[in-house]
Amino acid sequence: MAQLSHTDSNTGIDLEGSSRVLLVDDDAPLLNAMARALRRSGLHVTMASSGREALEMLRAVRFDAVVTDIAMPEMNGIALVRAVRAADPTLHVILITGAPTLQTAIAAIDEGAFKYVNKPFEVKALTTLIERASALSRLARAESRTTKAAPVSGLLEGDDARSEAFAEALAGASVVYQPLLAARTGEVVGFEALLRSGHPRLADPRSFLFTAERLGRLTDLARFVRTRAEVDFRGIPEPGWLFLNVHPKDLLDPALVDWGGGLLPIASRVVLEISEHADFTGVPNASLRVASLRKMGFRIALDDIGAADAGIARFSRFEPDFLKLDMSLVRDIDEDDAKRRVASAIVGFARDLGMSIVAEGVETEAESRTLIDLECDLVQGYLFARPGPAFPAAVWPHEPPKP
């Protein structure tokens, strides 16, 4: 029987056994042949002959993955991906095509397809993809049951008030830094740049960002942070990393990679953090833009893992180098068995995919010890250092590892 690519007997999450797969194709002989082959691999396969039929089945039964052909009448595979992801962002879809084109590949990525597979394919390779997609779906569902996103508060009434407050806040804004430490040794390996405002009505960074977005001033705010951070970071010796939060609309700003004062000269030391629950509506070809940044030397981090219902849905879309466990998952993890199981499973998948895990928001020694035991790579939080001007020292509360 086929097993999922990562299992952990201590997690308690259903990561083992036969994955429930919905197979969709309007070619009946091919559909039956594929179903037989996948069943021989140990998968539990249900067949649908159209996108409409598939949606009806999805309303009645919970599947771990969907595999669909692209070229189908009435509702093609791209449209099915869109409908599935809108209804359940934790469910991963694999697209198969016998006539690959750049246009359909881009559409598949933008709609959030897990993988885009060309015919002919090897059953073993497809089975491996299905197992991984199923595992990610199950993890995302487990994650969504244990955490909730925090609400944004402190918003201002009226755009005139917002505009005045924003101008004052930007004039007095600053950038502070919080160290990231190697989880086994306590060595400082980098710093995250964080925006701060002294304005009494926009002291919460989320309110500051919301106001900038409402006023169409996100670009101004992002450029301020990047410019300040790039200047400060010149004093940090290599190979220290600079972690910077990126809003989806920053991907449209040419200044992000401007040689004349941008981050491109230090790209190999910059990690761009993308929030797991960021809205990329209005950013065409977001995945290709991120891929282009990686080719320039930037590393990518997926932030807020554990903070949103979408969970780890962008694993496959952005192929990040780092995953950052949100503080809502980290908080009291030493006392919460469910959180430990979810974190352990995510760490396991990160290992399989060659990603590093950062645990942020660490506040107690017990949390830190638990995260070290779970084999997180980096830790960050008030336990080690509070954010401060360039660059605060860190304190390591644990005994050094034995040689």
Q: What are 66-120's pLDDT values in tens digits?
A: 999 998 988 888 889 888 888 887 888 898 888 766 566 666 666 667 777 887 8
* pLDDT > 60? residue 152: no
What is the mean pLDDT of the segment spanning 170-184? Answer: 93
Sign of the torsion formed by the C-alpha atoms of 121, 124, 127 and 131: negative
Q: What are 252-275's pLDDT values in tens digits?
A: 888 887 765 578 888 899 999 987
Domains annotated for the chain, with CATH where assigned, are 20-146 (3.40.50.2300), 159-379 (3.20.20.450)
* pLDDT > 60? residue 294: yes
Give the least confident one: 94-108, 118-132, 236-250, 265-279: 94-108
**E strand spans, 168-251:** 174-182, 188-196, 241-246
Cis peptide before 243 (omega within 30 of 0): no
Is there a contact between 394 and 384 (Cβ–Cβ < 8 Å)? yes
CA angle 154, 157, 163 (to 5 degrees): 95
pLDDT averaged over the chain? 81
What is the mean pLDDT of the segment spanning 226-231? Answer: 88
Dist. CA 376–CA 351, nearest whole Å: 10
The 3-state DSSP class for residue 196 equals: strand
- The identity of residue 277, as a single letter, is H
Between 281 and 150, where is the model more confident? 281
* pLDDT > 80? residue 2: no
**DSSP alpha helix (H) spans, 100-217:** 102-110, 123-146, 159-171, 205-214
- From the list 136, 242, 148, the residue with the least C-alpha distance to 189 is 242
The 3-state DSSP class for residue 246 equals: strand
- 300 half-sphere exposure, CB direction, 13 A CA radius: 25
pLDDT band at residue 163 under the 50/70/90 scheme: confident
Residue 151 has a pLDDT of 45
Name the pTM for this structure: 0.64
Dist. CA 248–CA 324, nearest whole Å: 17
Residue 90 has a pLDDT of 80
